[in-house]
Amino acid sequence: MRSYLDFEKPVAELETKVDELRALAENGEAVSIGEELNKLQAKAAKALADLYAGLTPWQKIQVARHPQRPHFSDYVRQLFDEFTPLAGDRLFGEDFAIVGGFGRFRGEPICVIGQEKGSDTSSRLHHNFGMARPEGYRKAVRLMELADRFGLPVVSLVDTAGAFPGIDAEERGQAEAIARSTDVSLLLGVPNVAVVVGEGGSGGAIAIAAANRVLMLEHSVYTVASPEASASILWRDSAKAQEAATSMKITAQDLLKFGIIDLIVTEPPGGAHRDPQAAIGAVGDALAKELAGLANLSREQLRQFRADKFLAMGRKLEEKR
């Protein structure tokens, strides 16, 4: 069953009427309603397209957090063959918020890393809602270093509200683990491409997203902190989260203008959660194109590419001033 967000109520009403008419037609309880059904379907589709064409940053946050939005495991099943996950950081233990391993992408061997939020209550608890502890980032480091050693490209699928802020994580060196993972990402001698497929929150996201190319799905968000946390810090009032979301410029469209990301991947009408297969396919096509563009660069060129990219952030705005 489709789950509607609060701002989608006008569309929900239209689509409910469409479903009712379709049910009547299938049961033979109504005659000659085909034309009316087609008109209503067209009206619902237009309402959906118009709504999603003008989403506010706060509404995009809601779409990025939609429970039916495809997660890491969905991307792996559709895009990567022979995927073999690896576990543990060889220092403390396993972290289930970050999943990673090796497989094949369109016939070529590759390393895949990403946050998994889970799709129901038990899996969300198992994966800690995609919020990794230090061992998760140290596992990511281990996988990236293996990929570097064997000359395999790295793909990162980002979807987290941020790294886990618990006492146990801090005791085991959360900040150092994030910094180390970011450092390894920047120094890889192989191509790496990151895609923000849902939420890209704080250092927990950039730890695996410091890549040659950073892509975002159309309605995903990428931010230094959640709007709720930012509102609490700036105004001492988490109720101002919507205002914070607008001020922080967290949407793919804003970040592309600022040079923080490199490409926006278009989502199906109504968001990735309405047609996960199409959304995942679009990400796959974008990944293939980006990896092909990086394939002929040397190890030093790839490192310099990343350094130039991240050091240039903010300079474009300064030059305009």
Tens-digit pLDDT profile for residues 237-267:
888 888 888 888 999 999 999 889 999 999 9
Q: Kindly state whether residue 1 falls inside one of the protein's structural domains.
A: no
Same domain? 291 vs 182: yes
- In angstroms, the Cα distances linking 312 to 113, 208, 277, 302 are 26, 19, 35, 15
Same domain? 146 vs 41: no
Q: Kindly state whether residue 145 falls inside one of the protein's structural domains.
A: yes
Same domain? 83 vs 43: no
Six-digit token string for 236: 């001492």
* CATH number of the domain residue 132 falls in: 3.90.226.10
Domain count, the chain: 2
Confidence of residue 316 (pLDDT cuts 50, 70, 90): low
Same domain? 31 vs 123: no
Which pLDDT score, from 0 to 100, does residue 321 have?
A: 54
Q: Say whether pLDDT at 30 is over 90.
A: no
Same domain? 209 vs 238: yes
The predicted-structure confidence for 89-137, as pLDDT tens digits, reads as follows 999 999 999 999 999 999 999 999 999 999 899 999 999 999 999 999 9
Same domain? 96 vs 15: no
Same domain? 38 vs 162: no
Same domain? 29 vs 100: no
Q: Kindly state whether residue 308 falls inside one of the protein's structural domains.
A: yes
Q: Kindly state whether residue 221 falls inside one of the protein's structural domains.
A: yes
Other C-beta atoms closer than 10 Å to the C-beta of 171 total 9
Which pLDDT score, from 0 to 100, does residue 87 have?
A: 95
Six-digit token string for 305: 């590419």
Q: Positive or negative CA dihedral for 243, 246, 247, 252? A: positive
Which pLDDT score, from 0 to 100, does residue 41 have?
A: 82
Q: Kindly state whether residue 32 falls inside one of the protein's structural domains.
A: yes
Which helix (H) or strand (E) covers residue 245, if one does? helix 241-248
Q: Which domain holds residue 311?
A: 61-320
The predicted-structure confidence for 11-28, as pLDDT tens digits, reads as follows 888 888 888 777 776 666
